Structure 1
Amino acid sequence: MSATVQAAGNGQKKNLLESLELDTRLLGMIGAFIVLCITFHLVTDGRFLTPRNIFNLTIQTVSVAIMATGMVFVIVNRHIDLSVGSLLATCSAVMAVTQTDILPHVPGFDFGSPLIAPIAIVAGLVTGVVIGAFQGWLIGYLTVPAFIVTLGGLLVWRNVAWYMTSGQTIGPLDENFKLFGGINGTLGVHWSWVVGVLAVLASFYGMWNARRRKLTHDFPVKPLWAEYSMAAIVTAVIFGFVAVLNAYEIPAARLRRMFAARGEVMPDGFTAGYGIPVSVLLLAALAVLMTIVASRTRLGRYIFAAGGNPEAAELSGINTRLLTVKIFALMGGLCGLSAVVASARLGFHSNDIGTLDELRVIAAAVIGGTALSGGVGTIYGAILGALIMQSLQSGMAMVGVDAPLQNIVVGVVLVVAVYIDIVYRQRLGALKK
């Protein structure tokens, strides 16, 4: 890059936020989240921001956050999916019945076989993808409005799950399957630090690669001090998160049972931390993958192009009908993945699993900045929205707020978030003009 071009690019940076290239809306969400956490920490006498509660908060967020990443694509494409909670229940029922009723009767698949969990998970994922694709076909090719199709799905799939299990709770689920639920499956202190270091290194590589690509194409880049500052912030956040989760110690009674299961005696004074839950690691990997799909693949470009201007997308040769099928198939697969996490965390399948999740998922995506008018949305915003939603509900529960009032507050927050988003986009549009 020539010195003139780089100077021109850097000259356009007028303040700190512009130099760091930070999204002001994202900063506002992070600021609101921090204020929310500090407020609940104060009113709960210091119980909210403890390693134990943060650990529980993360594993409770994962299920909704996984589906929220798919809901971003659905809403960006100017559709809606009201069936995700019911579809989660159907996928969960399929996996539970596969584990407890079908496979144990197949020769070589005794309960506890290491193949039971993978087969059950594949069955749940395939179920979600097939149902999602079917709903997408109804919407894309038969032109039935998504609201109607998924509203019908909300009623149909919830009761399909009920009939599959005869209205009974199914369990206990396979021990290997329950590793995806959170507290029953964690990396431990050592491997959590290893993952943390790898995550930091991957972040550094991503920043370096992005800067290299901009320089290659003579695009403006951040000043080096801004790059170093972002690297320091990312490092602090990742290592801080790992340190907090490692600080949550496994209860002594459980440690003794773990040693006894191995035929050993726990040493006096021995302690161990839980570390990063497998479900949180799964969400992190999914977030990276979905971000790559959204920003670096043809599918992602088509989704945002069709959501921004459907008529222009069709004229440009995009098969918007097939695209709709793909989006809803992906959403169905993510419902199946979310069912793995939700049922594994409980340790069994229950009839009310996923109840009202459709509203939580839509709220998480919208609070995270996904525009209901289509064309705009981010994966990280949806995950942050899910975290804010879960923090709000968890904090109110710790304070002693009744469940009905919790839902009232969440509803009010959703409406306010949409209004703020509208005002923000109007002002942003005015500034661009």
Structure 2
Amino acid sequence: MSQSASEPSVGARASTGGGLSRFVRATEVDTRMLGMVGALLVIWLVFHVLSGGIFLTPRNLWNLTVQTSSIAVMATGMVLVIVTRNIDLSVGSILGFTGMAMAALQANILPGMLGFDSPFTWLLTLAAGILVGVAIGGLQGYIIAFMGVPAFIVTLGGLLIWRGGAWWLTSGRTVAPLDDTFRLMGGGATGSLGETWTWILAILACLAVIASLVFARKRRVRFGFPQRPVWAEVTIAAVTTIIILGAALVLNAYEWPSAIARRYAEAAGIEVPEGGLHIGYGVAVPVLIAIVVGIVMTFVTQRTRFGRYVFAIGGNPEAAELAGINTRWVVMKVFMLMGGLAALGAAISTARLNAATNALGTLDELYVIAAAVIGGTSLAGGAGTIIGAMLGALVMQSLQSGMVLLGVDSPLQSIVVGVVLIIAVWIDTVYRRRAA
């Protein structure tokens, strides 16, 4: 009797496990990515409970997205660096140096040439900063790729050189304030899209997701590749659209402070209603920049010859060179790209602070590398995703933001980040061992 009673329960468990396995296979979901999303949700819930219900509020989540932007932008470039079996320890110092250079340019040099409040100041500043970042990355990439000096040594030296260079540019002075248009890249009330444009962007994003699924299915049919079940496609589309629309709802729920809304109404000649003027922030400009960078970098890694070369070099450098790939030039371009993205991260960081300081970007290299590794980029090279790195950046910033809300001391925050990084590398090692 007991044996026959236990058999259905075992069969039910097997059926459940098989159903979950079939679901994962049908939707082609990356299990590591799914695990990272689950870990992120657990982190959010834990901090929400420990903070007394403060963490998962529209205000904190909006600030969390803005704080993640610069790290997420740089993490997309760090993926390619690590995929090629290299490392870049200098990104935080490059951010500090280019940020100080951009601040000095728009505060001390361009006003004398173009006058104050010139509409070209922010554009020339951003272009010059990115060019400086690309030049720095190119210099380091040349030494690594063509002179044969290990990336660890070159970028460790760069960490010291560019941090000292940032101090040297202004003799240690903080440079402020910055151009008003340039400051829009840092977010804030004026540096956000607002409710209407946020909803428009969310709807366009949902349509783009559905269109990409349809086109991907057509391509599979054309080339005779296996198809996902229709229910799996519908499930992916539904979950993705719900996440996008939910994010738009949360970001719009965070409203301008009443004083700022009142000043805006007075300047625009708008009559303030009795209950006050309610204006939602919506998507912040730095978050939009990070999203665009993520989309472009995903396209580069998945749809271009350069991206295929990067992963080929990471998988087997000798075979890639024998196949005719100019591996040295590709590696140099990877570091040039990393330098440009560090400069873009500097623009976001300085615009957000409305100043450039010598401490800008300190320890950012730790967070960027950790974000890439947590996101599934293997330190052994050859494997990594852009979306994973950006999610990793969100995980890192969530940990830091949550610990700040709980009043955790800064040294303990560094300890937690270090432990998380070690655990992420250990998980990657275990995963690769089992996959082999």
Matched, 1:309 2:328: no
**Is the 1:256–1:265 contact (alpha carbons within 8 Å) kept by the matching residues of 2?**
no
How many Å separate the matches in 1 of 2:371 and 2:416?
Answer: 14
The one-letter amino acid of 1:295's match is Q
- Return the match for 1:200 from 180, 203, 206: 206
Distance apart, 1:16 and its partner CA: 0.8
**The residue matched to 1:329 in structure 2 has which SS?**
helix
How many Å separate the matches in 2 of 1:402 and 1:261?
Answer: 42
The one-letter amino acid of 2:144's match is I
Cα distance per residue 1:50-95 (max 9 Å; x no partner): 0000000000001111000000000000100010000011111111
User: What stretches of structure 1 of length at least 5 have no aligned partner?
Assistant: 1-12
Cα distance per residue 1:153-210 (max 9 Å; x no partner): 0001111111111211101101100101122400000010000001111111111111
Cα distance per residue 1:248-306 (max 9 Å; x no partner): 01011011122233355534322110000011111111111101100110000000000
The one-letter amino acid of 1:169's match is T
Cross-structure match for 2:377:
370
How many Å separate the matches in 2 of 1:158 and 1:279?
Answer: 24
The one-letter amino acid of 1:201's match is L
**Is the 1:140–1:325 contact (alpha carbons within 8 Å) kept by the matching residues of 2?**
yes
Cross-structure match for 1:154:
159
TM-score by length of 1: 0.94
- Return the match for 2:124 from 89, 113, 119: 119
1:10-29 pair list within 5 angstroms: 15-29=22-36
Cross-structure match for 2:173:
168
1:10-409 pair list within 5 angstroms: 15-106=22-113, 109-183=114-188, 184-262=190-268, 264-269=270-275, 270-409=277-416
**The residue matched to 1:171 in structure 2 has which SS?**
coil
Matched, 1:419 2:426: yes
Give the ranges of 4+ consecutive aligned residues of structure 1 lying more than 6 Å apart after TM superposition. none
Cα distance per residue 1:18-69 (max 9 Å; x no partner): 1111011111000000001001001111100000000000000011110000
How many Å separate the matches in 1 of 2:21 and 2:429?
Answer: 25
User: What stretches of structure 2 of length at least 5 have no aligned partner?
Assistant: 1-19
How many Å separate the matches in 1 of 2:236 and 2:268?
Answer: 45
Q: Give the fraction of aligned pairs with identical amino acids, expressed as a percent.
A: 55
Distance apart, 1:14 and its partner CA: 5.7
**The residue matched to 2:148 in structure 1 has which SS?**
coil
**The residue matched to 2:128 in structure 1 has which SS?**
helix
How many Å separate the matches in 2 of 1:225 and 1:68?
Answer: 34
**Is the 1:98–1:120 contact (alpha carbons within 8 Å) kept by the matching residues of 2?**
yes
How many Å separate the matches in 2 of 1:100 and 1:425?
Answer: 50
TM-score by length of 2: 0.94
How many Å separate the matches in 1 of 2:21 and 2:179?
Answer: 57
The one-letter amino acid of 1:27's match is L
Distance apart, 1:133 and its partner CA: 0.5
How many Å separate the matches in 1 of 2:272 and 2:172?
Answer: 42
How many Å separate the matches in 2 of 1:36 and 1:221?
Answer: 35
